[in-house]
Structure 1
Amino acid sequence: MESVSKNRQSPAALRAMIERAYGPERVPVGDGWATELTFGWFNVAYRVRLRDGAEVVLKIAPPPHVDVMTHERDAMGTELRALELIRAHTDVPVAAAHFADHSRELCDASYFCMPYVHGENLGVLRDRLSTAEHDAYLAQLGARNREINAVRGAAFGPLAGPGDASWRRVFTGMVEHILADGERRAVALGWDHDTIRAVLAEHADSLDEVTEPRLVEWDLWDPNVLVRDGRIVCVIDHERAFFGDPLMERLFGGTQLPAFGPHDAFMRGYGHPPLTPTEQTRRRLYCLYLVLVLVVETVYREHEGTATYDWARTQLDHAMALFGRTR
């Protein structure tokens, strides 16, 4: 996916980063040792073959002059913290960070290196799978997602803090941040901000049911899963993680909006019973937040064409309709 946030670097710069991470004796020589991995939407990532034949991934944060949304600030730091938490407290397969550099001495942004994991991207593979085969992966993903959500935090909010004891305050702030991000770039939502705020205020008491901060990946769906031989071998892209309500996870979204995919196999693997009325209300609020992000980020990414924006605007209408609001 093309995005203005992808901070591509020259071969010379990449070699310098690799030397700092792995030493001069492992710096690649010749041509064809670096290939851009194109599935991501935010950071640029390269598959790199080191001189000794080992394969690694070099991931680089956006350049400092690129405007990012509030929840994307220090996204690379968030990903590194999430990797540490997942590796320390779960058996979920994730890569270990070999090296991270935040000095901005070799390029204008932070970067880190990790091993390359051989596997097929489930988002790409999905069209070649039968429903039963895809459901089997979704059930595995549900079980893995539950492991991640079992990690407890000291407070709600960003992994690096500051935290808050109230999930209602944190989630309300997240919505306000995305509305402000949209306003800063004059993004047309098709809905008045005060109408969106009114929906949140009318249903905010459902958020008070959440009292224990849990690790939430939030962006865990098919394109962020690598599979091989019928099993999940790696979960990737953790830069949107935070401590919050597990019901915010992406694949719970299908319980309220069909566009967010089938959910039965995921729910079964997760071991989650049908949502209670209060849980359904919260999940609808989370769908509303998600589609607000999807609308606003199309402008920040400067996508070519309007197809993604148009789709997201339609989903925003559907999310508002869940609360009886129509245009």
Structure 2
Amino acid sequence: MRSATKVEVDRPTLETLVREVLGTESPVADVRSLTDGMFNAAYAVTLADGSRAVVKVAPPAGTPLLTYEQDLMPAEVDFFRRAAGVVPVPQVLGVDLTRRHVDRDVLVLQHLDGAPLHNLRRDLSPEQTAAVRRELGGAVARLRTVTGTRFGYDRPDGALSADRWSAAFAAMVDALLADADRYGVRLPRSAAGLSERVAAAAPELDTVEVPVLTHFDLWAGNVFVARSGGTARLEALIDGERAFWGDPLAELASTALFANPAKDFDFLDGYAQAAGEPLVLDDRARLRLALYRTYLYLIMTIEAAPRGYSGAEAVATAVYVRKKLKRELKTLRASLV
């Protein structure tokens, strides 16, 4: 699928960005466009001195975006810098948010040696996959130690943040519903009254008292795996632009994307070992998780409109996500009577 937010830059512009942001005189020897992500234009760059980097270029000003997607690249930079040393993430090599060289934010990251877990699912043995899932569970547990002062998205206007998790999450959901109206996205009829159901869940949401750095996009495509000999290990968590300060349980909406997190045994084992206690998925946790999965599926449903997804793959994905969204909405209706 192509995305309207992924606006390419030409080779001379890219070379200027690399030279200025990295402060290097070594010329660019090779450029390869990276196609996996769906928001930023991204390139794997090799310099004449043999060093490598990944260059991410944000959408141009004026590109139609969802409300939470404003200032997304600064948010990604902040995630990587706060998570560094706690979980494996690519090193930030350079940032340019001044838009002096191009009318877009630019981020230069360490080039990773491995590949996304999603791309390796047929190449890894069950034992290798299990080892990576355990490491991922441990990484999610350790992210609980990175805490903030307010819940929600850290944006300059503060519109999607609050002192209480229930208030921040309600603002996040309401912004998405407003985005659906703005872009003419028809949601399932069962989405009517979602704001009221989120409000009804406020007492449970407010059991989360500490804002925790939450990646919220840890599906297998954003989990990089390095292989050596017969072993596989978690190399890095990438694409932290969806991160917010919230409930660490929300990570399971993407780590177990479209699946039952209670059956992700290796992930849960790694989480328990790192946290020193098991992750309890009782009725109260399942209610919060249904809210977070609903929110994620809303994002996936609504973002297709401004990004202009088209083609058979886009249609099939939309139908599948909508089915999952309806299921979570049904769960919420049954839980919040």
When residues 139 and 183 of structure 1 are mapped into structure 2, their CA distance, relative to the original with a 3 A threshold, is same
| RMSD of Structure 2 on Structure 1 (CA) | 2.1
Alpha-carbon distance between aligned partners in 2 of 1:71 and 1:157, rounded to the nearest angstrom: 10
Aligned to 1:169, the other structure's residue is in SS state helix
Alpha-carbon distance between aligned partners in 1 of 2:126 and 2:262, rounded to the nearest angstrom: 12
1:1-327 equivalences in 2 (<5 Å): 1-23=1-23, 25-29=25-29, 33-87=30-84, 90-160=85-155, 162=158, 163-191=161-189, 193-229=191-227, 230-251=232-253, 254=256, 258=259, 263-271=264-272, 272-305=278-311, 306-324=315-333
Question: 1:57-91, CA deviations, whole angstroms, 9 ceiling, x for partnerless residues?
Answer: 1110011121111111111000111111112xx33
Aligned residues with identical type, % of pairs: 31
Alpha-carbon distance between aligned partners in 1 of 2:287 and 2:24, rounded to the nearest angstrom: 56
Task: Please list every run of 5 or more consecutive structure 1 residues that lacks an aligned counterpart in the other structure.
Answer: none
Aligned to 1:310, the other structure's residue is in SS state helix
Aligned to 2:325, the other structure's residue is in SS state helix
Aligned to 1:91, the other structure's residue is in SS state coil
Task: Please list every run of 5 or more consecutive structure 2 residues that lacks an aligned counterpart in the other structure.
Answer: 273-277
**How many residues were matched structurally?**
319
- TM-fit CA distance, 1:197: 2.3
- TM-fit CA distance, 1:262: 5.1
Q: Report the residue type matching 2:111 in the other structure.
A: Y
Alpha-carbon distance between aligned partners in 1 of 2:260 and 2:301, rounded to the nearest angstrom: 14
When residues 24 and 215 of structure 1 are mapped into structure 2, their CA distance, relative to the original with a 3 A threshold, is closer
- TM-fit CA distance, 1:193: 4.9
Alpha-carbon distance between aligned partners in 1 of 2:256 and 2:234, rounded to the nearest angstrom: 21
TM-score after normalising by structure 1? 0.91
- TM-fit CA distance, 1:322: 1.2
When residues 169 and 50 of structure 1 are mapped into structure 2, their CA distance, relative to the original with a 3 A threshold, is same
Alpha-carbon distance between aligned partners in 2 of 1:98 and 1:60, rounded to the nearest angstrom: 14
Question: 1:82-128, CA deviations, whole angstroms, 9 ceiling, x for partnerless residues?
Answer: 111112xx332212222111222222201021221110211110133
- TM-fit CA distance, 1:176: 0.2
Alpha-carbon distance between aligned partners in 2 of 1:302 and 1:193, rounded to the nearest angstrom: 22
- TM-fit CA distance, 1:323: 2.7
Higher mean C-alpha deviation, range 159-168 or range 299-308: 159-168
- TM-fit CA distance, 1:251: 4.9
Alpha-carbon distance between aligned partners in 2 of 1:57 and 1:261, rounded to the nearest angstrom: 35
CA contact (8 A) 1:291 1:312 kept: yes
Aligned to 1:144, the other structure's residue is in SS state helix
Aligned to 1:322, the other structure's residue is in SS state helix
- TM-fit CA distance, 1:198: 3.1
CA contact (8 A) 2:89 2:237 kept: yes
Aligned to 1:228, the other structure's residue is in SS state strand
